[in-house]
Structure 1
Amino acid sequence: MKLGVIADDFTGASDIALMLSEGGMPTTQFVGVPERAADAAVEAGVVALKSRTLPAQEAVAQSLKACDWLVSQGCTQIVFKICSTFDSTDQGNIGPVTEALADRLGETCVLVCPAFPETGRSVYQGHLFVKDLLLSESGMQNHPLTPMTDPDLRRVLRKQTSWEVGHVAIGTVWSGSDAIKWSAAAAGKAMVIVDAIRNEDLVALGHAAAARKLLTGGSGIALGLPRNFGFSPGRSPWTGVPGKAVVLSGSCSSATRNQVGIFKASAPSRELPVDDILTQKLSLQELVDWTLAQDTPPLLYSSADPQVVAAAQARHGRDRSAQAIETLFAGLAAALAEAGVKRIVVAGGETSGAVVSGLQADMLQIGPRIAAGVPALKVTDRPLALALKSGNFGGPAFFSEALAILEGSA
C-alpha cells in the first residue's frame, strides 16, 4: 500500500476513495481500523472513521490508531480527509487531529485545502465558498451538529491548534506546484490553507505535496495524488445488484430535503419524526414489513427543516436526538438487510456511519460514480450494494439515479 487516507466520516471516505479509484489506484475502503493486513493488491487504503463530531481527544486517539495501521501497511503519505465544508466548531478536532498526525509522522508543514470545485466548494483568500455564497451564508450555519458561522478557515483553524496557520493565495497557486512548495516552506512549522477554485489548482497542489507525509483536506485534494505514485486514470468494474431496495435519509441539508421532496412525489415514503423515535412510537419490525410490502423502492426519512430540527433539539437535547436517530437507522439497516434488501441508498454523513455500523460491514468495494463525490459501493462479503451520500451532494434526482446504478440498469 502506498497512500493511506484517514476519513472522519463514512461518506467522506467513499468520496475520496472514488477520487483515488478514478485516478487509477486500486482502492479499498475499510470500515474502522482493520485487525489484519490489507490485500497486497491494494495501493490506496481508506480507513473510514466516525470521528467528525467526537471530542478532540477521542478523535485524535482513533486517527492515530488508523495512521499507525496504514504506515504498517507501507503507506508513505497520509491524507486526513475532512468535509469539503470544513465541518468543525471552535471545539472541533480538525486542528488537533492534524497536529497529532503531523507529530506522529514527523511532518512540520501541512497543506490544508477542503476545496472541491465540482461540487461548488472553493477556497479564495483563505475563505470557503459554497458556490457563490460564503460558507456562513450557504445553509451550513444551520447545521444541527457543526454550525459553520465563520468562512475564514484561517480563523477557524487558529482556534483549534497551537501551530501557526499560514496561507497560499490563488496567485501563487496559479504560478504552479513549485511556487506552492516554496510558499508553504516559507511558513515554517505551520498548517497552511491553500486557495483552490479550479480542478487544475488541486492538481497543482497534489504535485506540490508529492514529498509531504501528511495532507488535510476534502476529497478534491486527491485529484493530483495518484500520478505522484505512477498511476493514470481508469474505470472500476461493476456488476449491479438486483432485488429489493430502500432509501434512508437522515440529512437535513437543503440539497437532501429537496431530493426527498422530489423522490417522495413518485415513491412510497414514511417520515420518521424525532419525537416518535425518542418516545419509541416506531416499531422496527413494522417499518421493515412496510418497506418489503412496497412495489417500488420506498423512502424512510427523518430529514426536516432547520426550525423543526432546532425545536426537537430544544425538547430532547442535541446529542440525545442525534443518537436516537442514528440508533434507529443502524437497527433499521441491519433488519432490512437481514430481510433480503439488496440495495440501500443513504443520505447524510452521520446516517451513513450508522447504517454501515449497523450492517457490520468491514470492507467496501469501490464502484462507478453516481454523482460527484458519491460512488457505488459493494459490501465485500455479501450481495449488498450501497450509496453513501453526504448531505449536500447529488442532483435533484439523486435517489432514483443511485438506485438504478446500484442495480446495474443505468
Structure 2
Amino acid sequence: MTPPAPIVGIAADDVTGATDSVVQFSRSGWASRLLLGNLLPRSVDPGSALALNSDARAMDAATARTATAGAVADLLTAGANRLYLKIDSTMRGSVPAQVAGALDAWRERHPGCFAVVCPAYPAMGRTVEDGLLRVHGGPVEDSPAGRDPVTPVPTSEFSLLLPGTTTISLTGSPEQDAQALREAAGSGGVVVVNAASDSDLRTLAAALVAAGPTAIPAGSAGLAAAMAAAWAGAGTALIPPEPAPTAQGQRIVVVVSSLHDVARTQTHHLRAHLDASDLRILQPEDSLLDLPNGLARWAAGELQSPESLPRVVVILSPEAVGGSVTFSGTAIARSLASVVQQTLARAPVGALVLVGGDGARAVLEATRAQALRITGAIQEGIPVGVVEGGTAAGKIAATKAGGFGPVSALLDTVTELTHTLTTTLTQSTEASS
C-alpha cells in the first residue's frame, strides 16, 4: 500500500522565506499555511505543509540556535514527520546556528539525523558549484547580498560559510546518493551539495526521500519546490485545494520595510510607472521612528481624509535610514506596521504587499493574524495567500523578500492584484444581483 503523504514542517529564518518555501508545497497540491501567533493547530491532515518563522537570520549564534530549535520543536508538536529548514539563498545571517538548532530539536525524535545544505535557487540565479555559492554566475560577495546592510556575506566558499563541512555532487541513483549523503555528513552531521540547475535539485530531492526522515533538507525555495514534488510523489493523493478568498475592496497597501538595494529599485520603478492619481506614498521622517506618539500623530494627519486615498498606498521606510541615523530592521518594521494598522482602521483595503521579512512579520503580528493560508504565487519569489484571524482576516497578502526579483516585480504584483481584486468584486456583485 502507498503510505500516507507526510506532514511537512518548515522552519524558516524570516517570514518571506517561510512563504517563499511553503508556496512551493501549495503549487504541488499540499494544504499550505504559515503559522502565526501563539496557537498551534490541534490536528493536521497528512499532505499538509506548515511553516513557522524563527526570526533567526539576524540573531547572534546562540540565540539563533535556540530560536530554530524552538520552531522545530513546535512543528514536531503540530505533527510534522518531515522537516525542511529554510535558509537564505545567499547564506545571509546565522545559517550555521540555524542548522545546529534544527539538529538539536529533530534528533529528539530522530536520533542520527543529519542536515543536507543546498541553498541553490537556479530560477533566481543562485547556484552552488564546486563548493562555491554564486549569484548570476559571480561570487556571492560581489552581489547585493555582499553589501547587505544587516547581514552581509563576505565569502562564497562553503568551507568558510559552514566550517568543517564537505561539499559533494550526486550521481542520480537515489539509494546510492542517500548513502553518500550520510557518509559525507559524518560526525558533524552536515553536508553541502552542489547544484546548478533544477535537475540537480530534483536529483537531490530523490536522494533525500530515499534517506527518510533522518535527513533534514536545508535550502531556499528552490530545493523546497523539488522536495514538495518528491514527497508528494512518495505518498497518497493530496487533499483538494481550498476556496479562493472574497475581495474586501480594491485598495492595495504596499509595505516596503526592506533596505535592500533591489527593493529600493523596485519601489522607484513602481512610483515611476503608476499614474500619480493612483498612488500615495506614506514615508515618515527617520526622526519619527524613535517617537511612537509622534509617528502616530504624523500618520493620523496623513490619513485624515481616508476616502481620498488612491487605489495604491505605499508605506515606505525613510531614505535616511542607514545613513546618519541607524535603526534595526525590526525597529523600522514595527514603526511601519503601526502606520499600516492606522491605514487598515481608516480605509477599506483588499490586499497587502509586504516587502521584507521583518516588515511582513511586524504587520502580521500587529494585526494579530493567526495564519497565512498560501494559495499560489504571483511570480517566482512572490507567494500570495489569505490572512486568517485578526484585524486583517480575509485580506489577500503577497510577500516578497527584499533582495529578490526583477526591477518590475512590485509593479507586476500590484497589476496582478488589481486584476484579481477587480475580477473577484465583479463576480461577487453579479452573484448577489
Alignment TM-score > 0.5, same fold: yes
Structure 1: distance between partners of 2:44 and 2:82: 18
Alignment map for 1:238-387 (pairs within 5 Å): 238-239=244-245, 241=247, 242-265=249-272, 266=274, 267-278=279-290, 282=295, 283-289=298-304, 293-302=308-317, 304=319, 309-312=321-324, 315-316=325-326, 320-339=327-346, 340-381=348-389, 382-387=393-398
Aligned to 2:429: none
Alignment map for 1:50-69 (pairs within 5 Å): 50-69=55-74
1:47 Cα shift?
1.5
1:129 Cα shift?
1.2
Aligned to 1:193: 192
The yes-or-no answer on 1:10 pairing with 2:8 is no
Structure 2: distance between partners of 1:157 and 1:290: 53
Structure 2: distance between partners of 1:390 and 1:231: 33
Aligned to 1:216: 218
Aligned to 1:166: 166
Aligned to 2:98: 94
Residue 399 of structure 2 is aligned with which of 388, 392, 406?
Answer: 388
**Which string of whole-angstrom CA distances, capped at 9 and with x for unpartnered residues, describes residues 67-111 of structure 1?**
223223332211111111111269x63343244235434244210
Structure 1: distance between partners of 2:302 and 2:174: 53
Moved more, 96-105 or 294-303: 96-105
Check the 8 A contact 2:259/2:402 in 1, yes or no: yes
Give the aligned residue type for 2:205: G
- 2:161 aligned counterpart, secondary structure: helix
**Unaligned segments of structure 2, at least 5 residues:** 1-5, 424-433
Give the aligned residue type for 1:186: E
Q: What is the TM-score of this pair, normalised by structure 1?
A: 0.86
Structure 2: distance between partners of 1:199 and 1:353: 30
Moved more, 335-344 or 114-123: 335-344
Alignment map for 1:130-141 (pairs within 5 Å): 130-141=135-146
Check the 8 A contact 2:14/2:53 in 1, yes or no: yes
**Which string of whole-angstrom CA distances, capped at 9 and with x for unpartnered residues, describes residues 211-261 of structure 1?**
143221112222232333426899775346233221111212232122111
Give the aligned residue type for 2:281: S
Q: From the superposition, tell whether residues 40 and 94 of structure 1 become closer, same or farther in structure 2 (CA, over 3 Å).
A: closer
Aligned to 1:110: 115
- 1:151 aligned counterpart, secondary structure: coil
Check the 8 A contact 1:375/1:387 in 2, yes or no: yes
Structure 2: distance between partners of 1:367 and 1:336: 25
1:153 Cα shift?
2.4
* Percent pairwise identity: 21
Q: From the superposition, tell whether residues 136 and 270 of structure 1 become closer, same or farther in structure 2 (CA, over 3 Å).
A: same
Structure 2: distance between partners of 1:185 and 1:324: 42
Q: From the superposition, tell whether residues 296 and 60 of structure 1 become closer, same or farther in structure 2 (CA, over 3 Å).
A: same
Check the 8 A contact 2:41/2:78 in 1, yes or no: no
Check the 8 A contact 2:99/2:115 in 1, yes or no: no
Moved more, 227-236 or 103-112: 227-236
1:344 Cα shift?
1.2
- 2:79 aligned counterpart, secondary structure: coil
Q: From the superposition, tell whether residues 261 and 250 of structure 1 become closer, same or farther in structure 2 (CA, over 3 Å).
A: same
Structure 2: distance between partners of 1:270 and 1:330: 12
Q: From the superposition, tell whether residues 324 and 177 of structure 1 become closer, same or farther in structure 2 (CA, over 3 Å).
A: same
Q: From the superposition, tell whether residues 153 and 101 of structure 1 become closer, same or farther in structure 2 (CA, over 3 Å).
A: farther
Aligned to 2:179: 182
Check the 8 A contact 1:371/1:395 in 2, yes or no: no
Aligned Cα RMSD in Å? 2.7
**Which string of whole-angstrom CA distances, capped at 9 and with x for unpartnered residues, describes residues 339-392 of structure 1?**
332311111111212111112111111122112122111112322111111012
Structure 2: distance between partners of 1:260 and 1:176: 45
Aligned to 2:205: 206
Structure 1: distance between partners of 2:350 and 2:36: 19
Structure 2: distance between partners of 1:42 and 1:332: 38
**Which string of whole-angstrom CA distances, capped at 9 and with x for unpartnered residues, describes residues 172-228 of structure 1?**
x35443443232222223311111111111111111111143221112222232333
Aligned to 1:161: none
Q: From the superposition, tell whether residues 235 and 399 of structure 1 become closer, same or farther in structure 2 (CA, over 3 Å).
A: farther
**Which string of whole-angstrom CA distances, capped at 9 and with x for unpartnered residues, describes residues 121-159 of structure 1?**
11111211111221100011221110111111231122x
Give the aligned residue type for 1:391: G
Structure 2: distance between partners of 1:43 and 1:239: 19
Q: From the superposition, tell whether residues 231 and 198 of structure 1 become closer, same or farther in structure 2 (CA, over 3 Å).
A: farther
Give the aligned residue type for 1:363: A
1:264 Cα shift?
1.1
Q: From the superposition, tell whether residues 134 and 5 of structure 1 become closer, same or farther in structure 2 (CA, over 3 Å).
A: same
Structure 1: distance between partners of 2:220 and 2:195: 12
Q: From the superposition, tell whether residues 46 and 40 of structure 1 become closer, same or farther in structure 2 (CA, over 3 Å).
A: same
The yes-or-no answer on 1:19 pairing with 2:24 is yes
Q: What is the TM-score of this pair, normalised by structure 2?
A: 0.82
**Which string of whole-angstrom CA distances, capped at 9 and with x for unpartnered residues, describes residues 246-288 of structure 1?**
1111212232122111111223324334344236664232344
Alignment map for 1:28-43 (pairs within 5 Å): 28-31=33-36, 34-40=39-45, 43=48
Check the 8 A contact 2:252/2:350 in 1, yes or no: yes
